């Protein structure tokens, strides 16, 4: 069961519509999945609710027949309305226990930015942690200070739960992040800003061994 979950979380595309540009989010998702992405998180910070639900439904309709789960960032209402597979919440978003009550069978991720947060998170009903951010990143302006590989390793040493590393990850450092204890990698700019997201996903997958 854990192995199956880890396989699902292995290479996680987190979308950014500005970085996807005129190609659109769906086209970038399609290319990234063709290149080996195993899970997609739809992250929309500006979109109005109705458009967010419509985009989520369109992604879900394309991803479901391909067996790739769709996770919604922040918004349980959007996840429920679109039939998404899961929700990713951070430390100030809806509490995981409330997400679990609303979506009992969902895949739930929680961001962990420090050892203190990890200690509190261990009692939460979640499936994986987003270890955030491993490296500094321009993609998220309000990200916590970077943990570095040593910070990731310290979290690895204190939990058996699956860890998805995020923040500044690309083909050049993917192997080192896995070696420090991550089970999966989540990337935004390395895929959404790539000229060829399918080739970028293939390269990342190859570097992950
Ligand atoms: C896999 C993964 N890990 C961490 C995050 C960050 O979530 P959060 O801290 O809630 O910040 P926002 O993404 O909402 O800006 C994530 N999205 N995915
Ligand atoms: C959403 C998010 N959460 C923590 S860092 C981050 C952004 C990661 O973006 P990138 O992969 O471009 O560094
Ligand atoms: Mg959030």
List, as one string, the DSSP characters of 19-37.
HHGGG-HHHHHHHHHHTT-
**CA–CA dist 73, 22 (Å, integer):** 22
Cα(196) to ligand 3 centroid in Å equals 27
Write the pLDDT tens digit of every residue in 174-192.
999 999 999 999 999 999 9
Active site residue 158: no
pLDDT beyond 90 at 207: yes
Strand duo 86-89 + 184-187: pairing: unpaired
**CA–CA dist 43, 72 (Å, integer):** 7
Active site residue 82: no
Ligand with the closest atom to the CA of 111 = 1
Total number of domains constituting the chain = 1
**CA–CA dist 185, 196 (Å, integer):** 19
Q: Is the pTM of this model over 0.90?
A: yes
| CB of residue 109 inside a 6 A radius of ligand 2 | no
Reported as a pLDDT band with limits 50, 70 and 90, residue 1 is confident
Domain that holds residue 125: 2-207
Write the pLDDT tens digit of every residue in 3-30.
999 999 999 999 999 999 999 999 999 9
Q: What is the CATH number of the domain that holds 90?
A: 3.20.20.70
Cα(156) to ligand 2 centroid in Å equals 19
Mutate to test the pocket of ligand 1, among 90, 139, 161 (most ligand atoms within 8 A of CB): 90
Is 111 marked as a binding-site residue?
Answer: yes
Nearest-CA residue for ligand 1 atom 11 is 90
**CA–CA dist 182, 26 (Å, integer):** 27
Tell me 164's DSSP state: E
ipTM greater than cut 0.95: yes
| CB of residue 74 inside a 6 A radius of ligand 1 | yes
What percentage of the chain carries pLDDT values higher than 70? 100
Strands (E), the chain: 11-14, 39-42, 70-73, 86-89, 107-112, 128-131, 163-166, 184-187
Active site residue 132: no
Would the CA dihedral through 37, 110, 64, 194 be positive or negative? negative
Quick one: tokens of 19?
A: 């970085």
Nearest-CA residue for ligand 1 atom 15 is 140
Averaged pLDDT for residues 142-162: 98
Three-state secondary-structure class, residue 201:
helix
| CB of residue 166 inside a 6 A radius of ligand 1 | yes
Cα(204) to ligand 3 centroid in Å equals 25
Is 43 marked as a binding-site residue?
Answer: yes
Cα(140) to ligand 2 centroid in Å equals 6
**CA–CA dist 94, 34 (Å, integer):** 32
| CB of residue 14 inside a 6 A radius of ligand 2 | yes
């Amino acid at each position: 069961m854990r192995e199956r979950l880890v396989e699902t979380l292995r290479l996680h595309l987190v979308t950014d519509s500005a970085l996807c540009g005129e190609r659109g989010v769906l086209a970038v998702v399609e290319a990234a999945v063709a290149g080996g992405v195993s899970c997609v998180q739809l992250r929309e910070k500006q979109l109005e609710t109705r458009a967010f639900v419509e985009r989520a439904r369109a992604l879900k309709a394309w991803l479901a027949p391909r067996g790739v789960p769709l996770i919604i960032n922040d918004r349980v209402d959007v996840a429920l309305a679109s039939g998404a597979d899961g929700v990713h919440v951070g430390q100030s978003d809806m509490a995981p226990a409330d997400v679990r009550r609303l979506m009992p069978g969902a895949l739930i991720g929680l961001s962990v930015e420090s050892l203190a947060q990890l200690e509190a998170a261990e009692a939460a009903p979640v499936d994986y942690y987003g270890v955030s951010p491993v490296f500094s990143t321009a993609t998220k302006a309000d990200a916590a200070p970077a943990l570095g590989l040593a910070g990731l390793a310290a979290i690895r040493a204190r939990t058996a739960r699956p860890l998805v590393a995020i923040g500044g990850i690309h083909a050049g450092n993917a192997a080192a992040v896995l070696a420090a204890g991550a089970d999966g990698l989540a990337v935004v700019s390395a895929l959404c800003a790539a000229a060829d997201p399918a080739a970028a996903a293939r390269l990342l997958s190859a570097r992950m061994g």
